Homo-oligomer: A and B are copies of this chain.
Amino acid sequence: MSSVTTTLHDTATRMRAEDRRELILEAATAVFGERGYVGATTDAVARAAGVSQPYVVRMFGTKEALFLEVLHRAIARLMGTFRAALADTTPGPDGTVEHPAARIGRAYADMLSNRGLLLSMMHAFVLGADPVIGKAARTCFLDVYRFLRVEAGFSKEEADVFLAHGMMMNTMVGLRMADEYEDGNPCAIDLLEAAMPHKLDLLLNANAESAPTS
C-alpha cells in the first residue's frame, strides 16, 4: 500500500509552477473563506492544495501576499462575471432581453456556489483597520461600485440596493444559515426566503459542496 501511495503521490507531483500556483490559489480561496485571514494557516492551505507548507510560503512570499492575491482574483472573477452578464444580450425564452440590473443580479446569484470566493472578500471587508489589507479591500469595493455606476449605468440608489442585497446574501453564506434551513428551523426558512428570493436553491447547493477541513 505504501508503494501505491508513493506512486500516486509521485505521479501527482511535478506540475508546472504556473499550474501549481492556480491549485494553491484555489485552495487558499476556500481556506481563507472558511477561517478568515488570521484564522487560516499556510499549512491548511498547503494541505488543501496537496503540497508542503514551505512551498506555499516561498511561492507567495508571505501569507499576507497570498491573501491579497486571493482577494484580487476574487474581485477580478466577480467583475468578469458581471461584465459577461452585462454584455450578454441574447433574448430569453420569451424573446425579451432582461434589464442589465437583472442580468448582473442573476450573475451574482450564480456565484453563491463559490463560497470561498465571496467569503474571502467578506473577511477582507471587515479588516479595514489593517493598513495593508484594509486599503486593498477598500480599493476592491470601490472598483465594484465604480463598475456598477460607470459601466453598468446604475443610479446611486440602484447601486446601493444591489450592493446591500449582495452584502446580505454574503452574510447568509458566511453564517451558514442554510444549515438552519436544512434543520427545519422555521425562522431560518422564513429569513432565507426573504433574503434570497428565487435563489435559495443556489445557496443550498453551495451548502452541499464539501469544504476543506482541518
Contacts and interface: CB of A to CB of B under 8 A. Distances in A.
A138 B174 contact: no
A200 to B, nearest CB: 13
A180 B146 CA distance: 14
A174 B142 contact: no
Interface in A6-62: 34-39
Interface in A115-148: 119, 122-123, 125-129, 134, 137-138, 141-142, 145-146
A1 interface: no
A145 B38 contact: no
Interface stretch (A65-73, A80-88, A98-106, A163-171): A163-171
Given A141-B175, A142-B188, A194 B157 contact: yes
A204 interface: no
A35 B38 contact: yes
A76 interface: no
Interface in A166-214: 167-168, 170-171, 173-177, 179-180, 185, 187-188, 190-191, 193-195, 211
Contact of A191 (B145, B167, B211): B145
Contacts of A145: 187, 190-191
Most buried by B among A128, A146, A168: A128
A77 interface: no
Contacts of A127: 36, 39, 174
A186 B157 CA distance: 17
A163 B168 contact: yes
Given A126-B122, A168-B163, A142 B191 contact: yes
Kindly list the 6 A-B residue pairs having the minimum CB-CB distance in the complex, ordered from nearest.
A128-B176, A126-B174, A164-B168, A38-B39, A156-B194, A167-B167
Interface of A: 34-39, 119, 122-123, 125-129, 134, 137-138, 141-142, 145-146, 149, 156-157, 159-161, 163-165, 167-168, 170-171, 173-177, 179-180, 185, 187-188, 190-191, 193-195, 211
